[in-house]
Amino acid sequence: MHWTSIPQFVIPFVVVLGIVIFVHELGHFVMAKLRGVRVIRFSMGFGPALWKTQRGDTEYRVAWFPLGGYVQMAGDSPNEDGSMPDGGPEEYLSHPWFGRVLIALAGPAANLVAAFLVMVAVALLGVR
């Protein structure tokens, strides 16, 4: 393989990885919203923002380094002394353990559902 053929592999890899990351983070985001947790930021990528917008309480952004993403929720970190925050019901760590587990598992579950739907589409439509 010659070095000039690398972009033909890298670009599709980054695009497919971006879709997988988006679906994963969207799972966390949707479940957090359903559980009443305030989402501060939905980010595709890490590092400085290339694009961002604010809608309601949430900042949506696309960041410089595309190999990841995150959903930042209100109250998702313990206090500096290690204690849990005494925030309101819209904070992540104020929710009961099963609510936090649902939010944590929603990302991988979204990926499993997406993979199933892709396989169904491939079975129905075929691959050329």
Torsion of CA 106, 11, 62, 46, to 10 degrees: 80
pLDDT tens for each residue of the chain, 128 residues long: 566 677 788 888 888 999 999 999 999 999 999 999 999 999 999 999 999 999 999 999 999 988 899 999 998 877 777 776 677 888 998 888 999 999 999 999 999 999 999 999 999 998 77
Q: Residue 114 — φ and ψ, nearest 5°?
A: -60, -40
CA pair distance 69, 25, nearest whole angstrom:
7
The single residue of 25, 59, 80, 91 carrying the catalytic annotation is 25
Catalytic site includes residue 91: no
